[in-house]
Amino acid sequence: MACEVGKLKLDAYLDGELPSEEMRAFDAHVRSCPACAADALARVQMKRAVQTAGKRFTPSAAFRQQMQERFAGRARRKSMGFAWMSAAAVVAVLAVVGLTFTNRGRERARAQQVYSEIADLHVATLASSSPVDVVSTDRHTVKPWFQGKIPFAFDLPELQNSDYSLLGGRMTYLEQTPGAQLIYELRKHRISVFVFPEGSLQERLGKKSLASKELSFSMETWSQGGLRYFVIGDASTVDIDGLARLFRSTGS
């Protein structure tokens, strides 16, 4: 048996992993080959040194249990800390989300209250025996009438080439804020246009079109030039939007 081949099988021989016939043949070879014998002796000594060192540093049962308890305690503290952090984060997120939805709910409720008050003002005007304080189809007559009566100025649109006609105007109040109410007519439909200073209203209202099924009204509202406009009536949404576009064009 060549020594190069023997070196390949030396570890298996020392570990007793060779078949019986090969073990006997390799044993005879090691006994007759000084190089393989020396190599085998060195490897055996190294294995014994490793085993001795491993036994020398084997922890006692008490030390092993102490280490296990310490690591387990750290794991529990980390787990509890993470759990508390996670719980706190969840509570914080839920609080923010809840507060956001609460605030949005309150804003929607307040906005809906404003829309309801505008509808009530419109109904009250329709039911009044004197729906307007200044009766005129001329915007140059109606606009000056409001000077000194309300703390702001506004423009009225030109109605030529349109189906809308101006009937007049009156003073009105929304949340104790004075404003203007203009009455228009379109094919026997009465439409109110309310104008208030935007900054005096407590609610933040965006541009919106909506319909009130209970009162059979359509409404459109928007902000322009620091003023808040409401157009409301029992006409179609297309007709309401048409009058709103005329008013918006006055600020263009």
In a domain, 192, yes or no: yes
In a domain, 178, yes or no: yes
Q: How far apart are CA 179 and CA 228, in angstroms?
A: 10
In a domain, 36, yes or no: no
Q: Tally Cβ neighbours within 10 Å of residue 59.
A: 10
* Nearest C-alpha neighbor of 218 from the set 238, 239, 232: 232
In a domain, 24, yes or no: no
In a domain, 212, yes or no: yes
pLDDT over threshold 90, residue 55: no
Which structural domain, as residue segments, surrounds residue 200? 106-249
pLDDT over threshold 70, residue 2: no
In a domain, 138, yes or no: yes
Domain count, the chain: 1
Q: How far apart are CA 75 and CA 35, in angstroms?
A: 54
* Predicted confidence (pLDDT) per residue in 193-228, tens digit: 999 998 777 555 655 555 544 456 888 988 888 899
Confidence of residue 142 (pLDDT cuts 50, 70, 90): very high
Q: How far apart are CA 57 and CA 50, in angstroms?
A: 11
pLDDT the model gives residue 213? 46
In a domain, 25, yes or no: no
* Predicted confidence (pLDDT) per residue in 78-114, tens digit: 655 555 565 566 556 555 555 555 555 565 667 677 8
* Predicted confidence (pLDDT) per residue in 143-199, tens digit: 999 998 898 999 898 888 889 999 999 998 887 889 999 999 998 899 999 999 987
Q: Which domain CATH number covers 211?
A: 3.30.200.100
Q: Mean pLDDT, the chain, as a whole number?
A: 76
In a domain, 184, yes or no: yes
* Nearest C-alpha neighbor of 190 from the set 165, 210, 211, 170: 165
Q: 217 to each of 117, 131, 244, how far by Cα in Å?
A: 13, 18, 15
Confidence of residue 7 (pLDDT cuts 50, 70, 90): low
pLDDT the model gives residue 98? 56
pLDDT the model gives residue 193? 94
What is the percent of the chain with per-residue pLDDT over 90, rounded to a whole number? 19
